[in-house]
Structure 1
Amino acid sequence: MIGTEIPVLAVLCGDRRPPDMDAVEAAAEIRYTDEKGLPDALRGADALFVYDFLSTAVPGAWHAADRIRWVHIASAGVDPVMFPELRESDVVLTNSRGVFDDSIAEYVLGVVIAFAKDLPRSLELQRQRRWQHRESERVAGRRALVVGTGPIGRAIARLLRAAGLDVSGMGRRARGEDPDFGTVHASADLVRVAAGFDYVIAVAPLTDETKGMFDAAAFAAMKPSARFVNVGRGELVVTDELVTALRAGEIAGAALDVFDTEPLPVDHPLWTLDNVVISPHMSGDFVGWRNTLVEVFADNFARWRDGRPLRNVVDKQLGYVPSGH
């Protein structure tokens, strides 16, 4: 609640301004800025909208944030703004949870089917004009482990179950009788349980506990026929150890939408592996997604102006929005 004064809103957006901001612009003084101008935009601002959610500029400019009370990021992941000064402050942090759930789930189902039906090889043979008959796998009856039990993970679980897969989850703590996953394993048990699954899907938030959780030990524990899918964060994976596992045949393939370095360098060995599907951090980006992100922010802005409870409030100690919030 900020009373009757006109709030000052800094918007980190670079050269691409967010669409459909008319309602917000009518109710606030807006300072659109790129990374270079962020410190000046933050001085005297009441709130910050991190529309450029891939930017890592906020920590370096935070010294100028002398009045900020609320930060909203246009993504589900909040790791770009999880620096100590913000984490330890009383500034409220919200994210855009819910925007990308179904589209990311569709991507995951798509790559599962692509692997099972050997579609990448079919496209390559088509380009070569080669008629090469092969047998393909069924997806029904295969087992999938979804590592990350938030809304995106649940959307993935529901869609994979609808396709006939047997789905389990993995989260901070083990539990049974979950409505979407059935059984949820504890993340600490990844190496112990990974061998039981044909697809291992990473969608966990990036935290101190999850960073690098997919390492040599995790890949060695998986079936040689297993496929790994990462739609979470690139830093969940020790990339060099994934490359080694793929080359050694410790796992059969990987579909990767996120990387620890983006864009993926042109000379990176992942480009050369024929058992890898690469997409440029686009699994959730459906037509109109930018407008939807602004709708989520504009709704929260109206709530903030009116003093009503905000949606998608992040627990800054956990690094994500707890279930039920």
Structure 2
Amino acid sequence: MDSIESAADVRYTDEKGLAEALRGADALFVYDFLSGAVPAAWHAADRIRWVHIASAGVDPVMFPELRDSEVILTNSRGVFDSSIAEYVLGVVIAFAKDLSRSLDLQRERRWQHRESERVAGRRALVVGTGPIGRAIARLLRAAGMPVSGMGRRARDDDPDFGTVYASADLVRVLPEFDYVIAVAPLTEQTKGLFDGAAFAAMKPTARFVNVGRGELVVTSDLVQALRDGRIAGAALDVFETEPLPSDHPLWTLPNVLVSPHMSGDFAGWRNTLVEVFADNFERWQTDLPLRNVVDKQLGYVPSGH
């Protein structure tokens, strides 16, 4: 932040002091991207022209007053693409090679020979065709998996996915896939997208991976689908309630991998997020177009921006 401090009056604050810090401020850097404090303090934002959030998802700041204002909203798209893709490839391999069972047997000092699955040839559906979804598609293709995408509109000539299905066709196409990866932004259209009907449509041998938002999933429906064997497993990095309560059934289901919202968090990620903001701040000061401008009606950065 040194370059920014030399060019502007910077006020650092926590949630309690946010309203006071907003008065007279021209820009807001939401570094704590999990905080829900901005809507409650927004009444004090008397001259804000630009809000930047240190995450790819913008749902914590998509409240009506900001969405309907002239304030520019930018995000940190691009920071987490590769690391989240690596996480997804890792859990796919972990499922296919039964690594969690191998660790259990190792702790028990039991030599139990088993056969495992091939990764190559297993079909994957990536729900969300932004930069993170594309990075996932490229890595899974490199591992020999045919990959399709799902987005707002259908098309057959996508450079990373080939075929992209429309979100409205989710239940219809789910039976074709062995791995279903959720990475879509949270919008009114995607909230609760994966419900009982979606899980019932999946193959009983299919695995579900969520690296998008917890609210994309009706969690109770997912738990029931796992308990009933309607799907074979799930790798979950995000949840409706975080931290995941210690008594939640997802902790103990044998076919579930739980990680604490860390799939994108590589060593040094916090500094990288500040560097993204600093770059955009320099552009803002010199009247250059800002990077990663969010379409506030869509809830994400459109392709090509």
Whether 1:24 aligns to 2:4 is yes
Give the Cα–Cα distance (whole angstroms) in 1 for the partners of residues 213 and 45 of structure 2: 27
Give the Cα–Cα distance (whole angstroms) in 1 for the partners of residues 294 and 167 of structure 2: 21
Pairs within 5 Å for 1:125-204? 125-204=105-184
Whether 1:268 aligns to 2:240 is no
Tell me which residue corresponds to 1:115: 95
Tell me which residue corresponds to 1:235: 215
Which secondary structure does the structure 2 equivalent of 1:109 belong to?
helix
Which secondary structure does the structure 1 equivalent of 2:78 belong to?
coil
AA aligned opposite 2:150: M
TM-score by length of structure 1 reads 0.93
Tell me which residue corresponds to 1:249: 229
Instruction: Quote the offset at 1:107 in angstroms.
Output: 0.2
CA deviations over 1:48-78 (Å, ceiling 9, x no partner): 0000000000001000000100000000000
Tell me which residue corresponds to 1:302: 282
Give the Cα–Cα distance (whole angstroms) in 2 for the partners of residues 38 and 295 of structure 1: 22
AA aligned opposite 2:130: G
Tell me which residue corresponds to 1:57: 37
Give the Cα–Cα distance (whole angstroms) in 2 for the partners of residues 191 and 79 of structure 1: 25
Give the Cα–Cα distance (whole angstroms) in 2 for the partners of residues 91 and 223 of structure 1: 45
Tell me which residue corresponds to 1:47: 27
Which secondary structure does the structure 1 equivalent of 2:51 belong to?
strand
Q: Which blocks of at least 5 consecutive residues in structure 1 are unaligned?
A: 1-20
Give the Cα–Cα distance (whole angstroms) in 1 for the partners of residues 105 and 22 of structure 2: 54
Instruction: Quote the offset at 1:276 in angstroms.
Output: 0.2
Which secondary structure does the structure 1 equivalent of 2:276 belong to?
helix
Give the Cα–Cα distance (whole angstroms) in 2 for the partners of residues 28 and 259 of structure 1: 37
Give the Cα–Cα distance (whole angstroms) in 1 for the partners of residues 86 and 203 of structure 2: 24
AA aligned opposite 1:241: D
Instruction: Quote the offset at 1:93 in angstroms.
Output: 0.1
Whether 1:105 aligns to 2:122 is no
Instruction: Quote the offset at 1:180 in angstroms.
Output: 0.4
Instruction: Quote the offset at 1:318 in angstroms.
Output: 0.1
Give the Cα–Cα distance (whole angstroms) in 2 for the partners of residues 254 and 316 of structure 1: 31
Tell me which residue corresponds to 2:51: 71
CA deviations over 1:192-242 (Å, ceiling 9, x no partner): 000000000000000000000000000000000000000000000000000
Query: RMSD over aligned Cα, in angstroms?
Result: 0.4
- The counterpart of 1:258, out of the listed 231, 238, 244, is 238
Give the Cα–Cα distance (whole angstroms) in 1 for the partners of residues 260 and 144 of structure 2: 28
Tell me which residue corresponds to 1:12: none
AA aligned opposite 1:73: I
Instruction: Quote the offset at 1:84 in angstroms.
Output: 0.2
Whether 1:33 aligns to 2:18 is no
Which secondary structure does the structure 1 equivalent of 2:11 belong to?
strand
Instruction: Quote the offset at 1:118 in angstroms.
Output: 0.2
AA aligned opposite 1:37: G
TM-score by length of structure 2 reads 1.00
- The counterpart of 1:288, out of the listed 268, 284, 287, is 268
Tell me which residue corresponds to 2:187: 207
Tell me which residue corresponds to 2:297: 317
Give the Cα–Cα distance (whole angstroms) in 2 for the partners of residues 65 and 128 of structure 1: 59
Instruction: Quote the offset at 1:177 in angstroms.
Output: 1.3
Which secondary structure does the structure 1 equivalent of 2:10 belong to?
strand
Give the Cα–Cα distance (whole angstroms) in 1 for the partners of residues 127 and 179 of structure 2: 11
Instruction: Quote the offset at 1:128 in angstroms.
Output: 1.1
CA deviations over 1:241-264 (Å, ceiling 9, x no partner): 000000000000000000010000
Give the Cα–Cα distance (whole angstroms) in 1 for the partners of residues 271 and 218 of structure 2: 34
Instruction: Quote the offset at 1:108 in angstroms.
Output: 0.2
Q: Which blocks of at least 5 consecutive residues in structure 2 are unaligned?
A: none
Moved over 4 A (4+): none
Q: Identity of aligned pairs, percent?
A: 85
